[in-house]
Amino acid sequence: MIGKELIRNKLYNEFIKPTNQKKNFIGIEIEIPIVNLDKKAVDFNIVHKITEKFKNQYSDFKSDGIDYDGNIFSLKNPETDDIVCYDCSYNNIEFAMGKEKDLFTINERFCDYYSFVKESFEQYNHTLTGMGINPYRQYNLNQPIPSERYLMLYHHLKSFKNYQNLPMRFHNYPEYGMFSSASQVQLDVHKDNLIQTINVFSKLEPIKALLFSNSVLLGEDNDLTCFRDILWEYSTHGVNPHNIGMYNVDFKDISELQSYLESLNMYCVMRDGAYINFPSMNLLEYFQKDYVRGEIYCKGNYREIDVKPMLSDIKYLRPFKFINLTFRGTVEFRSVCTQPIKDSMCVAAFHLGLKDKLDDLEEIITTDDVLYHQGYTATELRKILIHDELPSFLNQKDLCNLTKEIVDLASLGLQERGIGEETFLNPLYARIKNHANPASEIKKLISKGVNLEKIIRDYGNLDMVV
């Protein structure tokens, strides 16, 4: 049994203390669906060939992850910390760009890697596209990458049938990590601004739903524009609702944030290089136990094993909130779907531009009566705004004006950086003007009879390099 004070101190050292450093870097991770245009499963042999081709083309990249079959699933450049890897399965490629101080540097390298990989796939009638849900997911083999992390994750997600008498329902897509894709941003945030950053940005989630939604579950649930929210909330990650979604509280200070961290659940640890899954449980409960019964993967099967909790297990705490604290002293924004590829930098530009405009942003939200202060929480508003139709209490024109005011503030924040990064916000102004987002545009095009393959190709085109 480990005392609460030791746990609290460990949480502080892992999550809060790193924010004492004054840095100002940007990190971007973009997950992108791979699509077989023959309407067949993505050919993993082709994926492995292209991985090797990329490694030969970009000789600074070194193997950083090899699966149980001997295939590379992650490559890393030690000079830039750029990582090109596969996320959850070989149906989903990820470009995790090393930290930089400006978006242009990141964009240049991303465009270079993306163009090479996409052109390589197109030689085999495969392609990449900028959608939050793989539009050809029904054809794919939903198999996790045979590695410790991804086998553990899939095993956890498949365990939903083991949870009984919970005040929630589960969807039937435990493989959703293999067909859903996100655009994530990490920003350095100093401890002095940490609480305000989480409080204010949490309230922005409804606006972000309007601007960035891009995950339609084609053929199954066409009503939602950001089905990714549902996939996370109604999975085993959502057994404890504090582990996913929004915070739904305004933190007064760091102590309250620490208490929130104590309310999170754990579901895995690692021993001797192997992951051990166990039923999702509150971390304080976990550390009060002498032993926890879990399951470990061994030679194709799972067997039961008892694990003794150790304080160092805090590093396996894996919340998937819209806004996450990381061990690196960054705040990770992870609620946004992958965007049409030509617009990829607009996500980071939006968050970066607002990061140092917290007082102004808070003033906009505090005084607004178009969206906020109408009897709904920010979480409820987000759930409303990922649907097609606006409810009667919302006026579309007024909502667009509010959204533009926020994007204008982001633009001002970028202008004050003096680099010209505000140009990356142009796609958002177009969306506001057209009362649209990428998901609603997909649905509109399909309703007009536009071929899905054309949409896939258009959303994957990198025809605007800023």
317-364 pLDDT, tens digit each: 999 999 999 999 999 999 999 999 999 999 999 999 999 999 999 999
Q: What's the pLDDT score for residue 464?
A: 44
**Rounded-to-integer distance, Cα 443 and Cα 436, Å:** 10
> End-to-end alpha-carbon separation of the chain, Å?
55
The length of the chain in residues reads 466
Q: What's the pLDDT score for residue 106?
A: 98
pLDDT at 157 > cutoff 80: yes
Q: What's the pLDDT score for residue 10?
A: 96
Q: What's the pLDDT score for residue 34?
A: 98
Give pLDDT tens digits for 104-115.
999 999 999 999
Give pLDDT tens digits for 375-397.
999 999 999 999 988 999 999 99
Give pLDDT tens digits for 51-98.
999 999 999 999 999 999 999 999 999 999 999 999 999 999 999 999
**Rounded-to-integer distance, Cα 234 and Cα 236, Å:** 7
Question: How does residue 421 score in pLDDT terms, banded at 50, 70 and 90?
Answer: very high
**Rounded-to-integer distance, Cα 294 and Cα 302, Å:** 10
Phi and psi at residue 464, to the nearest 5° = -140, 95
Domains in the chain: boundaries: 21-263+323-460
pLDDT at 223 > cutoff 90: no
Class of the domain covering 21-263+323-460: alpha beta
Element (H, E) at 30: strand 26-36
Two tokens, residue 261: 């961290």
Q: What's the pLDDT score for residue 168?
A: 92
Residue pair 340/430 in contact by the 8 Å Cβ criterion:
no
Give pLDDT tens digits for 247-267.
999 999 999 999 999 999 999
In 3D space, the residue among 357, 321, 353, 337 whose CA is nearest the CA of residue 184 turns out to be: 337
**Rounded-to-integer distance, Cα 137 and Cα 338, Å:** 15
